[in-house]
Amino acid sequence: MEAGEVRYEVQGPQALLTIDRPKARNALSPGVVRELMAALERAESDAAVRVVVLTGAGEKVFCAGGDLGTLAGDEGFLATHEGRRSYGKLLARFQELRKPTVARVNGHALAGGLGLVLACDLAVAVEGADLGTPEIDVGLFPMMMMALLQRHLGRKRALELVLTGDRLPAREALALGLLNRVVPAPELDAAVGALAGKLAGKSQAVLALGRRAFFTAEDLPLPAALEYLSSQLSLNVLADDAGEGILAFLEKRPPKWKDR
């Protein structure tokens, strides 16, 4: 385990990334954004890591969003703007990653913190956690994470969240499709571990191909999406692991993935 604003720890097949600023409600400082980006690169390059789990330190807050104390910046307007763009690049990097990601939502996920939850493939939250976009209450708007919120919710519900700043209890967020599981706090690690274990047991090559196809097709018109996905299926069929998976099914045995 390594110390810093983001702790990186390998636990079996998973890399656990922990935002470690509990006194600041695990807020997203420029350092946190940089360290999260570096941690994703590290996990990507480690062949032993098959799934990435993101969480926050403590038991109350996953991430409270941007650190308002660093919002103005002191390096000039253009440099500060580039720094803000880094958060958007981080959200995109989660989706570009070749490995699946799970958010371990140990507490409230607000503003940019909710953006991190939405950027992860799957999310498990504790009961009692709130999710929301309260930026409007301090005269701001959730600009970059709104791109992900729009892809998760219908227009009316997304607009209600960003315009009012209201918080959603975890169970309501689950019903809206922002989360995959909501569990009591004592069951959080077991639920995340079970989900991460399932992902780690799949062909990493096929997961990478499928995730890229999912996110690419999401922004295409239906005819173009179907045409694109047919080409991706042809690639998938040619993968070594597709042949192994089909053979294992016919032979009624577990597949032995080669991850290629």
> Which residues are tagged catalytic?
135
Q: Is 108 helix (H, G, I), strand (E, B) or coil?
A: strand
Tokens of residue 58, six digits: 């403590």
Tokens of residue 227, six digits: 């045409």
Q: Is 104 helix (H, G, I), strand (E, B) or coil?
A: strand
Cβ-contact 68, 23 below 8 angstroms: no
Residue 241 phi/psi, 5-degree rounding, is -70, -25
CA 61 to chain centre: 16
* Residue 99 Cα distances to 40, 48, 53, 105, 256, angstroms: 10, 11, 10, 19, 18
* Segment (H or E) for 167: strand 167-169
